[in-house]
Amino acid sequence: MSPKKREPKEKISLKDIESKELIIKNLGEKDRFYNGLKWGIFLSLFGNLFVLLFYDSVVKYFLKDQKAIVLVLIITAIILFIILTFLKDKQIKVSDEKDRESGALNEMKEKANRK
């Protein structure tokens, strides 16, 4: 068995690498914007739905009792805290992926500079 000959790989220029790097950065910014927009719309619709469904029983009760208002504020703060920690974890995962991608791009740049 004779060893297989390697076909020469395409030469990657520094300009190609930089253009890919810019594309990756722009995609990340757009994803963050649309993700924030989705969550904002979801939370506002959820709040409106809550008010519409429970207006008679809940909202009138809140107007009568101030302890209920404080209780709802505490529950809302807990829910927002849970949502924000969930989003923060997702952002950390996304940034880890981007770090890996940028590390791969840096390696490609170094190889291109050596040649």
pLDDT tens-place string over residues 73-82: 788 778 877 7
What pLDDT score was predicted for residue 70?
72
Tens of pLDDT along 57-115?
766 666 666 676 677 778 877 887 777 777 665 555 555 555 566 666 677 777 777 76
95 to 32, 38, 63, 91: CA distances (angstroms): 11, 19, 45, 6
The pLDDT of residue 105 is 65
Q: Are the C-beta atoms of 15 and 113 separated by less than 8 Å?
A: no
Give me the pLDDT at residue 112, please. Answer: 72
Which residue, chain included where needed, has tokens 């997702």? 90
For residue 72, the SS3 value is: helix
Mean pLDDT confidence for 46-67: 70
Q: What is the CA radius of gyration of the chain?
A: 26
Q: How far is CA 10 from the centre of its chain?
A: 34
Q: What is the pLDDT of residue 73?
A: 75
Name the residue ranges covered by the structural domains of the chain. Answer: 14-114
- Per-residue pLDDT, 83: 76
